Amino acid sequence: MFKGNFENAISRYEGTGSRLEDEFVGAVNGRKYKELAYAFLHKDNKVNSDPLTNDMRFEKMLKMRELATHEFENTLDFKEKYIKRSDSMRLVEKCQVGDPEHPSRFFAKKLYDTVREKFNKDDFTLKFFTATGGTHLDVAHKIDCYFKLYLKDTNQEIACATIDLTQNSNKSTAEANILVNISSEEQEKCDPSQENKKYDPKFLEEIITRISGEVVEVLINDYRQRQERN
């Protein structure tokens, strides 16, 4: 009994993302994501698609929440009950806790602001999305966060750059466009909290400059590739 409870606890922790991911990019609304993912996977189910009456709405909402929680009890469920990357992205974007144009995490905000400077604000909109906190994009597709660039006047998406954050120094390849290796020691150097004596603003600036350069390069290349396909 204890073993099962312990393993479930581990799965729940892993599903919410590591401390690195949480501190650097935050997390989605995990409960909302599970409910949307459950509805997506069962969209052809007649019971699931029945219209809700006023009397049944609250009861069905609770039932949906219960079914969604059961559907994704642990991390492996996001791999076994697969949702392709593009669909998972759409679900993730509906579950952001904050404003994609104003990231709240210190690291994400610094990175966003640096990338934002490279694109004319009158012509382009830049958005930052986190995918951690228990999503298919994080668990099945190994994407922790990503940037999207849009034409300002039409809101048309024209480019995307995905990022995989890791503390695994041996990891050298990624499904995401950009792999960011940050050790626990380097993570402390990026933490500006008052009690942290190891914070190193110069080191943080170097990291931000490097990653933002990679993000901008991926966005430009993705834009060009989309233009060629069209």
pLDDT digits (tens, 9 = 90+) for 31-75: 999 999 999 998 876 445 556 555 566 676 777 778 888 888 887
pLDDT band at 102 (very low <50, low <70, confident <90, very high): very high
Report the range of poorest mean pLDDT among 152-156, 191-195, 203-207. Answer: 191-195
Q: Which of 219, 223, 226 is nearest to 115 (CA)?
A: 219
- The pair of structure tokens assigned to 75 is 């991390």
| Average pLDDT of the residues in 82-86 | 95
- Contact at 8 Å (CB) between 159 and 219? yes
Tokens of 70: 């059961």
Is 126's pLDDT higher than 90? yes
For residues 2 and 91, give the distance between their C-alpha atoms in angstroms, rounded to a whole number. Answer: 34
Residue 1 has pLDDT above 70, yes or no: no
pLDDT of the residue at 154: 96
The vertex-103 CA angle with 99 and 107, nearest 5°, equals: 170
- 116 in Cβ contact with 126 (< 8 Å): yes
- Give the per-residue pLDDT at 219: 98
Residue 17: is its pLDDT beyond 50? Answer: no
Q: How confident is the model at residue 5 (pLDDT cuts 50, 70, 90)?
A: very low
